[in-house]
Structure 1
């Protein structure tokens, strides 16, 4: 029988605390064992109640969410899901991920209205996933990491693009991996990272600051060129269009509407296979669910390569597991060896 997940809800709004408790209580496998009004009170509650998962607001008096995270992770690491508003706390949310938060859910509004209930299903799903997370696999302090980019070599032309799909644990894993790619990396990289709307541009800027490569949030009709990492914008699928002169441009679209995620790894991978044929390397990394499995099948059917992150380094072994179990992975690789493996097939 599934064990009940014990959750502490931290938010300075009494209304939001009540609503989150109501939402989580819809699941028979989740019990809200306490609430806290700020980070300082949350530290005491964690010590006393020993929750399995914490949901955390970021903007709070006395001690904010990031301060709580930094202190709590030193005391006893545990899975923390940010529940906040992008417009008010975007940079703070990225700091929270650096400090050890594993997921975030975007509040639809700062106001005490019924709209808050819209996040109910997503929050329940992410709390269940967070309870299974391997926190020891979460790369930390990636912004301060001194990385040693690999030495490049002239591309043999076997691969013309690297496409990556990643979710839970993704911001930290990419902040570890991308800075290791050399400045003269000979092909483009495109990434779908499951993030709420409002975060991908800021995240791309931060990743650009610590990487030899140019990292940008993809815009419509961006050229797909060597040495550039394109991050799909939250809320839009990223695909490719080959021009009559042979160059390739990005295309952003809300369609298809029937995907679980937007952007979708499957949409990116399928487009890469259709435009670049057998010269595609797809990399599926940590994350829950199975986004990327169908896209990996497209890449394989066109003769391309698929790498998956090995279970031993995944924060959540969901997306890579789905690809692996479908027999679509050419190689399962721990996070700290993925860049070397990518360089090995160029």
Structure 2
């Protein structure tokens, strides 16, 4: 018997966009079981059809996407992909939806016929398939529970190695995980951190601002030629690879490129990790969090090859156990940890000694 694809509900107040998205998904082997014109219809459709995934518009009449996400996650937890317009307002609401349990975000495909459409269609189908696999409900609870435990168990006085650099890669389900992880890293460790989160252009700047509000570290979206030292975090901008181009005396410099996608994504974790392994001669830690695909596996191998420490998120706390699984299968991962223990794992690998 032929295996059927996931069942989806498409919610958008535009009849045109509902049709475009439904056609794209159907051609990609996804069974669109219902369409919804607003959030209330989306909530009802989820109750009636029990889909595997929902694509949710942000701005809709009667009930917007944010409230719909809230109700769905409270009554019938279902993996939700936010489809957002390329605006600051939509970006802000989209992150609120991620806080409420939505899994990921995708920029709405445009209606015009262009050379980009086939690529965007493939990306949308791949994203919906990935989000449909996400484990929702348990994830939020375990993250919240573990968050408190790590804070209380962290040693108060440690001596760390000089100039450690941490490279974090994540995709589907990653934004909340990255925020939690960075919120648990103490400034005393003097880390320099590079984050590659698969996210559309226009969202990574706001993502960096959100992290900056939740951590002791100074966080910003990377610009071409940016230099950072200890206590700084750079987030790769959507649509550009972030390459470590230079390193000296504890300060590293990055360059941004629009070279072709690697592993079908740009920014690619592999590009950042592998370039860091080439030029950084101080301690390196590579971390692979939840996400689809195999991006990061080659980067982890590169970090391990120069004596760095490598960590992957475990299956139980990963929304999608794709990237961590592939990295683990490569044999180059030192530690497999739940999200709530990864900060401690990073610190342990950078610890010189514990003072009593």
Q: Given the two structures, how large is their TM-score scaled by the length of structure 2?
A: 0.89
Structure 1 residue aligned with 2:293: 289
Q: Distance in 1 between matches of 2:255 and 2:140?
A: 32
1:239-261 superposed Cα distances (whole Å, 9 cap, x missing partner): 22336777421211112555521
The alignment status of 1:135 with 2:139, answered yes or no, reads no
Q: CA deviation at 1:117?
A: 4.7
- After superposition, the Cα gap between the structure-2 partners of 1:271 and 1:2, relative to the gap in structure 1 and judged at 3 Å, is same
The alignment status of 1:155 with 2:166, answered yes or no, reads no
| 1:196 counterpart SS class | coil
Of residues 187, 197, 202 in structure 2, which corresponds to 1:183? Answer: 187
- Greater CA drift, 189-198 or 268-277: 268-277
* CA contact 1:160–1:276 (8 Å) conserved in 2: no
Structure 2 residue aligned with 1:2: 3
Of residues 246, 253, 263 in structure 1, which corresponds to 2:257? Answer: 253
* CA contact 2:285–2:309 (8 Å) conserved in 1: yes
1:45-60 mapped onto 2 (5 Å cutoff): 45-60=45-60
Q: Distance in 2 between matches of 1:233 and 1:280?
A: 22
1:1-346 mapped onto 2 (5 Å cutoff): 1-28=2-29, 30-87=30-87, 89-109=90-110, 112-114=111-113, 117-118=117-118, 119-139=120-140, 148=151, 150=154, 151=156, 153-157=158-162, 160-242=164-246, 247-277=251-281, 279-346=283-350
| 2:160 counterpart SS class | coil
Q: Distance in 1 between matches of 2:202 and 2:188?
A: 30
RMSD (CA atoms): 2.2
Show structure 2 runs of 5+ residues with no match.
351-356
Q: Distance in 2 between matches of 1:312 and 1:120?
A: 30
| 1:341 counterpart SS class | helix
Q: Given the two structures, how large is their TM-score scaled by the length of structure 1?
A: 0.91
* CA contact 1:288–1:317 (8 Å) conserved in 2: yes
1:58-77 superposed Cα distances (whole Å, 9 cap, x missing partner): 01111110011011111111
Number of corresponding residues? 340
- Greater CA drift, 59-68 or 206-215: 206-215
- After superposition, the Cα gap between the structure-2 partners of 1:310 and 1:244, relative to the gap in structure 1 and judged at 3 Å, is closer
Q: Distance in 1 between matches of 2:271 and 2:14?
A: 38
